[in-house]
């Protein structure tokens, strides 16, 4: 990548080396796919808190909802009944 001790971007060989080094390998692609999937994590249907590993899943009016706690699930269900 260096000619006479300096990098020459205008040299075809140097540009090819830069291009080759910029490619994403399968491991990096898998990591980015996981990142994209996690970029919009599930939230509590009531308080919109991001859900962690433990959450409550409840079916209300033929739809499944996820909640951070039983209290949020109960509040959400009461609001749906009065809406």
pLDDT digits 0-9 by tens, 60-74: 988 999 999 999 999
Q: Would you say 68 and 44 are in contact if contact means Cβ atoms under 8 Å apart?
A: yes
pLDDT for 3 equals 47
Domain boundaries, the chain: 1-40, 41-83
Q: Would you say 68 and 56 are in contact if contact means Cβ atoms under 8 Å apart?
A: yes
Give the SS3 label for residue 31.
Answer: helix
More confident residue, 56 or 25: 56
pTM above 0.85, yes or no: no
Q: pLDDT tier at 1 (50, 70, 90 boundaries)? A: very low
Q: What is the mean pLDDT of the chain?
A: 79
pLDDT for 33 equals 65
Distance CA 46, CA 70 (A): 11
């Amino acid at each position: 990548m260096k000619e006479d001790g300096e990098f020459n971007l205008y040299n075809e060989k140097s540009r090819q080396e830069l291009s080759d080094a910029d490619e994403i390998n399968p491991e990096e692609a898998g990591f980015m796919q996981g990142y994209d999937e996690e970029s919009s994590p599930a939230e509590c249907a009531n308080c919109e808190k991001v859900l962690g590993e433990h959450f409550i899943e409840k079916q209300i009016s033929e739809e499944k909802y996820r909640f951070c706690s039983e209290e949020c699930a109960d509040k959400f269900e009461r609001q749906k009944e009065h809406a």
